[in-house]
Amino acid sequence: MVKKVCHLFSFLFIIFVLFGCASGDNGEGTGSGEITDGDFAPLDKKATVFIAEDGAASGAGFYIAEEKGYFDDYNIDIKFTTFANSDDMLPALAAGEVDIAGGVSTASFFNAIAQGIDVKIIADKGHYFDGSSYFSFVIREDLQDEIKEYSDLKGKRIAVSSRNAVDDYIFQRMLEHAGLTEDDVEFVLMSDFGNMLAAMGNKSIDAALQIEPLITQGEAQDLHVRFGDATDFAPDAQIAMVLGSPDFIEKETDVSVRFMAAYLKGVRDYNDAFLHDEGLDEVIDIMTKHTALKDAEVWKKVGVTGLDPNGEMFIEDIKKQFEMYDANGAIRGDIDFNDAIDTSLSEEAMEVIGRYDR
């Protein structure tokens, strides 16, 4: 009798292990992939996502999604971290020490990928809004009567913050539009945008490729005025991109697609606020909390970063930037853009949360 009872308990224990553990595994992963009420179900277990972000305005989608609870809705905890420079950040991203980062096009960025630093370009993090570009040319206030067309920049001293980077690319596009070459102007390398304001004040430069909020600040101080708009000659420029760790994108798919859905919701609120004046005060409060620009009234005046509500990028422009750096002899190696650019997360997220076509 005792043996029969022992055998019975052994049998029940085996059944519990086989079926109980199997059931536990289904619920214990990071998520079940379920969709409820037109949205992703929350993850079964809380996941932490590390974002390398330094308070740039282009990180608005992250900040808004965090503050409005879109990450929380999916049971995702966000941790922001910073790096001194991209040379440290990119290897950490490739190794999975951080999951998400922001990046801009530079020769050094493409060289890192060409030399085996495996990171993925996954979504938009900065482009131009037509007619109100956040990264555009200004001229000295006292030169308005002299410089009326782009071709009038011939012979002028123009400050640009870097070589073989997106700044240089925008500068070259402007020269092409003006019918000028670099030999027709004096290129002034000035890495600090703040120094450009001082240089305008002491008249050591005539024009500059400047960035917000310093564009607005310089106008208020009568140092410079906006000159045209960058969309005159580079309407499809891809200024910044969201980057992802391959492991995060390819192995933690339940987490990464929900992360992207939350990010896009944040970006959509940003577009509603700055383009349609819906929820503007709330979004500005979030931006003043997370960025260096703390004046809410200035936020209502600046040209803000363009962020695509569907995460879509100007992929052909990314390739053109690479080609320019390569033509300059700044690229070491080649890149398979079909591998480096991965839009699958935003595409999968939109299958559930829908497109924003406003």
| Model confidence at 87: pLDDT above 80 | no
- Percent residues over pLDDT 70 in the chain: 91
pLDDT, tens digit (0-9, with 9 covering 90-100), for 308-338: 999 999 999 999 999 999 999 999 999 999 9
**This prediction's pTM:** 0.88
For range 173-191, the mean pLDDT: 98
Residue pair 134/212 in contact (Cβ under 8 Å)? The answer is yes
Give the number of other Cβ atoms within 10 Å of residue 250's Cβ.
13
- Given this model, what pLDDT does residue 24 score? 34
For range 25-46, the mean pLDDT: 70
Cα distance between residue 37 and residue 341, in whole Å: 31
How would residue 358 be classed by pLDDT, with cut points 50, 70 and 90?
Answer: confident
| Model confidence at 93: pLDDT above 90 | yes
Q: What three-state secondary structure class fits 122? A: strand
Alpha-carbon separation of residue 205 from 117, 156, 199, 210 (angstroms)? 38, 8, 6, 12
pLDDT, tens digit (0-9, with 9 covering 90-100), for 183-237: 999 999 999 999 999 999 999 999 999 999 999 999 999 999 999 999 999 999 9
- Percent residues over pLDDT 90 in the chain: 86
Cα distance between residue 207 and residue 135, in whole Å: 13
| Model confidence at 28: pLDDT above 80 | no
> Quick one: which of 110, 339, 311, 349 has its CA closest to 246?
339
- Given this model, what pLDDT does residue 283 score? 98
Where do the domains of the chain lie, and which CATH numbers do they carry?
Answer: 35-127+238-353 (3.40.190.10), 135-232 (3.40.190.10)
How would residue 292 be classed by pLDDT, with cut points 50, 70 and 90?
Answer: very high
Q: Which amino acid is at 184?
A: D
- Given this model, what pLDDT does residue 157 score? 98
How would residue 26 be classed by pLDDT, with cut points 50, 70 and 90?
Answer: very low
- Given this model, what pLDDT does residue 31 score? 52
- Given this model, what pLDDT does residue 115 score? 94
For range 146-168, the mean pLDDT: 98
Q: What is the 3-state secondary structure (H, E, C) of the chain?
A: CHHHHHHHHHHHHHHHHHHHHHHHHHHHCCCCCCEECCEECCCCCCEEEEEECCCCHHHHHHHHHHHCCHHHHCCEEEEEECCCCHHHHHHHHHCCCCCEEEEECEHHHHHHHHCCCCCEEEEEEEECCCCCCCEEEEEEHHHCCCCCCHHHHCCCEEEECCCCEHHHHHHHHHHHHHCCCHHHCEEEECCCHHHHHHHHHCCCCCEEEEECCHHHHHHHCCCEEECCCHHHCCCCCCCEEEEECHHHHHCCHHHHHHHHHHHHHHHHHHHHHHHHCCCHHHHHHHHHHHCCCCCHHHHCCCCCCECCCCCCCCHHHHHHHHHHHHHCCCCCCCCCHHHHECCHHHHHHHHHHCCCCC
